[in-house]
């Protein structure tokens, strides 16, 4: 299978890319360049197609998505504290970038697996006595980062419902 991993130079993305390679898939990575991302993909760099670019660039996104069967969308700005200092940067990257991915996936008829986050649920302090957190729990984001992830989570769901886009949303908790 031909797989594109956005954010494939990040912690989760580089490990996912490595796993997909080991399973015999043809893997491409779309990531903004940094020394950290270069280091993260160094063990697999010769085995993957690396595209250095931003998900906020719709032309790069469209060209990157084309020809793939599945897009794992992990690319995003992720630092909660930084989102408190510059919310717009997080809205731009996470919402606009996610929108670009959705449009490209819709156009190219790919499957999309969106990495959302547990942060969309908030801190859980407002749960009723005996209430447990599950995928049907209300989204109550507490930071601009979490709000941007909740927004693209729900926009992705709207593409599933409105355009029959093949979207799966996962909301992982802390990964180490």
Output DSSP code: residue 21: H
pLDDT at 131: 80
Question: Residue for token digits 């949303």?
Answer: 169
Among 73, 121, 122, CA closest to 99: 73
Reported pTM: 0.94
Edge-first strand order for the sheet with 70-73 is 49-52, 26-31, 2-6, 70-73, 111-115, 166-170
- For the chain, which domains are there? 2-170 (3.40.50.720)
Q: How many CA atoms lie within 13 A of 69 on its CB side?
A: 7
DSSP 47-104: GSEEEE--TT-HHHHHHHHTT-SEEEE------HHHHHH-HHHHIIIIIIHHHHHHHH
**In sequence order, which residues have a C-beta less than 8 Å from that of residue 108 and are 6 or more positions away?**
62, 65, 66, 67, 68
pLDDT at 176: 67
pLDDT at 130: 79
H/E segment holding residue 30:
strand 26-31
pLDDT at 125: 75
pLDDT in tens, the chain (176 residues): 999 999 999 999 999 999 999 999 999 999 999 999 999 999 999 999 999 999 999 999 999 999 999 999 999 999 999 999 999 999 999 999 999 999 999 999 999 999 999 999 988 777 778 788 888 888 999 999 999 999 999 999 999 999 999 999 999 988 76
pLDDT at 96: 98
């Amino acid at each position: 299978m031909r797989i594109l991993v956005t954010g494939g130079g990040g912690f989760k993305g580089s490990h996912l890319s490595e796993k997909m390679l080991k399973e015999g898939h043809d893997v491409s990575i779309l990531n903004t360049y940094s020394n950290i991302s270069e280091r993260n993909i160094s063990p697999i760099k010769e085995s993957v197609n690396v595209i250095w670019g931003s998900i906020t660039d719709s032309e790069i996104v469209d060209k990157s998505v084309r020809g793939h069967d599945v897009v794992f969308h992990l690319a995003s700005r992720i630092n909660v504290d930084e989102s408190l200092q510059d919310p717009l940067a997080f809205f731009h990257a996470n919402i606009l970038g996610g929108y670009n991915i959705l449009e490209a996936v819709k156009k190219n008829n790919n499957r999309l697996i969106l990495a959302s986050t547990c942060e969309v649920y908030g801190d859980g302090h407002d749960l009723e006595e005996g209430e447990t957190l599950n995928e049907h729990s209300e989204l109550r984001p507490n930071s601009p980062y979490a709000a941007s992830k909740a927004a693209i989570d729900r926009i992705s769901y709207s593409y599933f419902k409105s355009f029959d886009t093949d979207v799966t949303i996962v909301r992982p908790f802390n990964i180490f």
